[in-house]
Amino acid sequence: MAADFYEVQPVIGPLQRSIRPPGSKSLTNRAVVIAALAHGESRLSNVLDSQDTQVMLESCRRLGVAVELDPATCVVRVPGCGGRFPTNRADLWLENSGTSIRFLTAACTTGEGRFTLDGNARMRQRPILDLVTALNALGADVRCATESGGPPVEIVANGLPGGRASVAANLSSQYLSALLMAAPCAKSPVELQIAGGLVSEPYIDMTLGVMRRFGAKVARGNDGSLRIEPTGYRGIDYDIEPDASAASYFFAAAAITGGTVTVLGLGRDSLQGDLQFVNALARMGCDVVIGEDRVIVHGAELRGIDIDMNAISDTAQTLAAVAVFAKGPTTIRNIAHVRHKETDRIAAVVTELKRLGLQADERPDGLTIHPGSPQPATIETYDDHRMAMSFSLIGLKSPGLRIANPGCTAKTYPNYFADLERLCGR
């Protein structure tokens, strides 16, 4: 792999392989925050070691929690702080990790002291004001340091009083997840009402699943509200599932090459909503088998579909790559919120498909991909890990495709291209 680009080599024939992706980024960052707030030590196994998770671990250390990562075994030991971070002053640098800055903004309000959270230029463009507003409604003292409604975020903490708040979750489910994870460490019960709709809803179910494993008590009201008791968390041993979003690339590889790929470690009891991506492939014609500890995708002749991907929007770029090789157009809908991710993902996908000589139509909430024969080109990745990983799949069948800045995958999957080579038998 060169420093500036990675050229994908087409495969000869259908893939017939098994693979186990690294641990889930979403589960890792949730588990680290909750374990840091817990009473007692936690042992987290199969953690993801990536830029986003390293940012989270380093921030916990700056907050006085002496987390220890063993890269060889992918185990993190977290001595919990009992709901209040030991330090009373910290400046946290979160790069472009949305989960880290949002989860830690809420978590810092449970302690005492002054905290500032900031990130890179793209992070400063990503909104966080709705989370700040909800925290202040619960009695916190949080503000955005600029008028844009983005980071840096400044917190004057004296414990989180609790009470009732309405949270807008139509731009990111991470706002609600952040509030939920901090709530068991509040001084009184917290009741959260969701306003304006909810995007990526399976991520909320994931958050609640992890919280309950660490001892949190959450109840749903008839009106859709969530009530969290101030019970705190207890330290536990917790094994993190392989990343379902990462697995989507290998499922897609089976679809594109007409092969069979088995992903180990994921199954019917997974906490991750992005496993639903295989249902989209099934609609396109693939045969899918979901077992207890593995998922198998058999590729077949692909047909275009019209699909709402709001709940699994992190896999929309992956499906766009598959759609290139289908019969008939594929329309992806209801993902307007991905314009606020690492890049404007709708515009970026359309731009790069056109760079390949393909037709793609952009809409405010999604796009339509028209199948065709991709031309050789170097794909721009916009410092977005998912652009690099999803577009690399097109190169499995079309020669001459190069991925610019392949190192951007370090954000969530540092060894992606090495694993892709192994999947291809190279």
Active site residues: 314
- What would the two tokens of residue 214 be? 């660490």
Which residues have CB under 8 Å from 88's CB, separation 6+? 111, 112, 113, 114
Can you tell me the distance from the alpha carbon of 361 to that of 346, in angstroms, rounded to the nearest whole number? Answer: 10
Structural tokens at position 326: 């289908």
Residue 187's identity, in one-letter code, is K
Q: How far apart are CA 229 and CA 202, in angstroms?
A: 22
Q: Could you tell me whether strands 41-45 and 237-239 are parallel, antiparallel, or unpaired per DSSP bridges?
A: parallel
- Distance from C-alpha of 116 to C-alpha of 107, rounded to nearest angstrom: 12
Query: 399: which 2 tokens?
Result: 């020669």
**Sequence letter at residue 240:** I
Q: Rounded to the nearest 5°, which phi and psi values hold at 326?
A: -90, 165
Beta bridge mates, 264: 294
Q: Which of 164, 31, 39, 155 shows the shortest CA–CA distance to 87?
A: 155
User: What's the chain's Rg over C-alpha atoms?
Assistant: 21
**What is the identity of the amino acid at 236?**
I
Residue 166, CB-side half-sphere exposure with 13 Å CA sphere: 6
The C-alpha atoms of residue 134 and residue 126 are separated, in whole angstroms, by 17
Cα separation, 140 vs 136, in Å, equals 5
Q: Are 361 and 386 in contact (CB under 8 A)?
A: no
Q: Determine if residue 39 is left, alpha or beta; phi over 0 gives left, psi from -120 to 50 gives alpha, anything else beta.
A: beta
Token couple for 10: 């087409």
Residues 250 and 16 sit within 8 Å (Cβ to Cβ): no
Distance, in Å, from the CA atom of 73 to the CA atom of 305, rounded to the nearest integer, reads 41
